[in-house]
Structure 1
């Protein structure tokens, strides 16, 4: 007896899910770069497969999360499943769309209108048991953009695989998400979405453009044009994104810019501006990436770690897709890597690589494979309304040692994101040995910092600090010594593999503490602190020289 799929109750859309499972291959001829993207896609989606819970219909959260299951990562997975289109993949994607959409907030009176719940177990925001304390509390406004951008790829490229009712439901959900995104205005109701918040701003721009074009909502398409112009006006001041040199969010920005290039409507400002911005982003990355240390040199506006070979960043898939995993700043051991949940994003980068690579020059590509030699890189970046004036960036790079710094005056401590753990305005990285990379980063305690990198030197001062401000100190975190070999770390002048000379007007008696609570990006580090005298008149300064 022949089995009829119709008897089993499977529609034509479901039949595709029973295709033979084969590894994903990117579209077009198989170049080395497309092979790298295929490798990344298959490696990462198989990792995602391991977190799938069939009973719940969600991915289990791979890191700290408001619930057992992760809505954002599960939504990403739906698009990835459609791209792979193996046995059962389409049916699983349809189930995900239904589950995630059922958790979308639909009351236009709420600030989180159109957003998606962070976890399916989370209560309604703004309730007694789950209070609304503003964005990023019981709701995360960026989830609209992360889900929306992944799903526009799903509908644009794979809607022919889906039942008509699923396509209609996803379209409606994206329309609501895009309208809800327009509730976001920097400085209003606690929201921080200004053009300087580069990665979600770039995502919201393509979401508005694509959804508006798809459903015929001119208000959205016009908003996309407005947002593109505002980003370009800010970017063109110094030809840098405001969210400068972030090992995570520079990657998100480049991915979203690739979406501008591939999916924006013909004749839009997104298509007009993206070649210039994405080309410059590649060039900046190639100048600041040390292919020998496999790390982005500092300074970092936002980071989740101090050695990219130990944690999952989102610049890593950009480099992996361009030149291969061998040269990418990606942990050798997937199990146990810090910040592992971002690995769920990698298959979406793989899908975008053919478009992203159109803007990578031969020289920049070469720099990602082979360190080009000692050089000093300077740049400026500007994040209004947080910056009093543009940040001045200096980075000196040699094969085994990089020093990066930025001079800034802001109205907050911790950069535009107001995060002292993520903002690193002065950084030294070096090769401790053949397998370990050391990092000394300046833990920010001041809103005004004069920090300059030069060959073998880092100079930091606090031009506006006074003794009336209370205790003033220079705090440094040292990490990277995973296997000590009985090395005794005694301070900045007693680091493994790096000989420093410290000059400062702070007290000579510094403190050093080995911190193991993993409260800063999960890393273990030494906290080395130089404190100023209670009464001082000259501006506090500290100079580190490699000798």
Structure 2
């Protein structure tokens, strides 16, 4: 491995070593607070790291445990999936009802299945024939179970194509219907099906993976962007999925190996324009984020950055385990294993753009995530030395974007340096549609479907020095001038760990500036923010 990849593997494995229960053959839950319960998915990642350290005995111990607890009843919706933790009661019983994404998570077929493929491809010489056979059988069951997934049916949100007979969505009969999918889940689903089908000589399984991959490609090439755009976490998952497409499927015999390299380069080209090396953040907007500053939470993109430009140039601090969302550090072994191959596929000049800010510029793109988007989202981001402003216009079927999460969907993001930290401002989504205009130092927002009851809620940094904010004049590091047809008087509250009107979002404390419309208002609600330093 390169020094960066080796460093990532060594540090992350030293951390996970402290969670390993060698008697049971699982990791304790790396998030903590689980009263010594264990956890399956991070154990699979740890097993890969063990193989990278030539420890096949403990790796096989974990692998056989995970496979032994795999759900094997074909009559169940969760067939082929994996237990979330070994102490878990039987899913689907009266005492423990099946609840998708809670008592069982269909995505774990992909997460653990892809780990098994990487293990078999990279370290088969360390795995016994008997355990390899178990892994292949497990992959067959996971792939068959994954074929049960139909978006809009049984609360599943993985949409393989518009051809499914789902009637509950307004996009069903639109003329511009195209295949649609959650990129991170779909990339893994297509890959595992295509790889397992080839390995086991199952042509139907192979064809299913190829068909699904073609739908993903067709959607991507509309705008050369991932449907879920610019996520510090999930762009990292998508990069992992694309690397699997590129590395482990035969050239000339798969749409995945054909298009994977281009999709990977296009994704990194967008990241390179949005990554701010000085702030060590991806400028907004973020379709789904687990925090407002990558220097304070563990993001998968930071792990990829570590492998490419070193830990010091990433957004990870010296001890990532104390950052928010630290459980994602357990992804590190797979990124370390793939790092050197990954580096061979990157666009020219990428590493320089990840380490040196190239100067003030504006980035524009479109992204499309059916069935939730009525039309492509229009993205504009302006980046300068100390301030970034990014926003997207959208018209969607739900509030909160495709993840239906008001907390993680950040359609408008401003970040700036205060001298000691990265501060932020984000629009908390309360409407299904938004129009934006981003220009240097200015952000204009309007609600095309808004009315007198509309509100603009701005989530603004709490500052490390504990400074109390009484109004915009107390916001550190930047001046904000607010205009528009809103009521000029805003409400202000604090969301704190120990008190305030609200609780933190994604562990981040914040100040809530909310603007309402004046009495008797008619028209389209508009809010403008002008910034200066």
Give the shorter-chain TM-score range: over 0.9
Alignment partner, residue 136 of structure 1: 101
Match for residue 412 of structure 1 among 377, 398, 402: 398
Is the Cα–Cα contact under 8 Å of residues 65 and 119 in structure 1 kept in the other structure? no
Match for residue 483 of structure 2 among 495, 503, 515: 503
Is the Cα–Cα contact under 8 Å of residues 321 and 329 in structure 2 kept in the other structure? no
CA distance in 2, matches of 1:272, 1:343: 31
CA distance in 2, matches of 1:539, 1:399: 34
Alignment partner, residue 51 of structure 2: 82
The within-5 A match list for 1:368-517 is: 368-433=354-419, 435-467=420-452, 471-479=453-461, 481-484=463-466, 487-517=467-497
Change (3 A) 1:137 1:334: closer
CA distance in 2, matches of 1:101, 1:306: 37
TM-score (norm 2): 0.92
Alignment partner, residue 230 of structure 2: 245
Cα displacement (A) at 1:65: 8.4
Match for residue 187 of structure 1 among 134, 152, 156: 152
Matched, 1:330 2:298: no
Deviations 1:425-478 (CA, angstroms, capped at 9, x unpaired)? 000000011x310011111011111122211111111110123xxx42111111
Is the Cα–Cα contact under 8 Å of residues 410 and 428 in structure 2 kept in the other structure? yes
CA distance in 2, matches of 1:49, 1:480: 35
Match for residue 25 of structure 2 among 48, 51, 57: 57
Alignment partner, residue 123 of structure 1: 89
Alignment partner, residue 16 of structure 1: none
Cα displacement (A) at 1:336: 1.8
Is the Cα–Cα contact under 8 Å of residues 436 and 480 in structure 1 kept in the other structure? no
Q: Which runs of 5+ in 2 are unaligned?
A: 160-179, 498-502
Cα displacement (A) at 1:494: 3.2
Deviations 1:242-282 (CA, angstroms, capped at 9, x unpaired)? 01000000011011111111111332111110121011011
The within-5 A match list for 1:156-305 is: 156-194=121-159, 195-266=180-251, 267-305=253-291
Change (3 A) 1:335 1:196: same
Is the Cα–Cα contact under 8 Å of residues 228 and 270 in structure 1 kept in the other structure? yes
The within-5 A match list for 1:519-530 is: 519-530=504-515
Cα displacement (A) at 1:296: 0.3
CA distance in 2, matches of 1:480, 1:370: 28
The within-5 A match list for 1:85-96 is: 85=54, 89-96=55-62
Alignment partner, residue 177 of structure 2: none
The count of corresponding residues between Structure 1 and Structure 2 is 505
The 4+ residue runs of structure 1 with deviation greater than 3 A are: 64-67, 491-494
Cα displacement (A) at 1:361: 2.4
Is the Cα–Cα contact under 8 Å of residues 387 and 410 in structure 1 kept in the other structure? yes
Matched, 1:100 2:66: yes
Deviations 1:175-230 (CA, angstroms, capped at 9, x unpaired)? 10011111112222221113431111111111111111111111221111111110
Is the Cα–Cα contact under 8 Å of residues 51 and 59 in structure 1 kept in the other structure? yes
Is the Cα–Cα contact under 8 Å of residues 415 and 423 in structure 1 kept in the other structure? yes
CA distance in 2, matches of 1:519, 1:287: 30
Cα displacement (A) at 1:66: 7.8
Change (3 A) 1:280 1:108: same
CA distance in 2, matches of 1:344, 1:409: 36
CA distance in 2, matches of 1:306, 1:244: 16
TM-score (norm 1): 0.90
Give the SS at the match of 2:443: strand
Deviations 1:370-407 (CA, angstroms, capped at 9, x unpaired)? 01100000000000111010000000001111000000
Alignment partner, residue 530 of structure 2: 545
Cα displacement (A) at 1:63: 1.9
Deviations 1:324-380 (CA, angstroms, capped at 9, x unpaired)? 111112134324210000000011111111222122123222110001100000000
CA distance in 1, matches of 2:94, 2:471: 48
Change (3 A) 1:191 1:524: same
Is the Cα–Cα contact under 8 Å of residues 82 and 93 in structure 1 kept in the other structure? yes
Alignment partner, residue 147 of structure 1: 112
Deviations 1:292-344 (CA, angstroms, capped at 9, x unpaired)? 00000000001000110101000011111111111112134324210000000
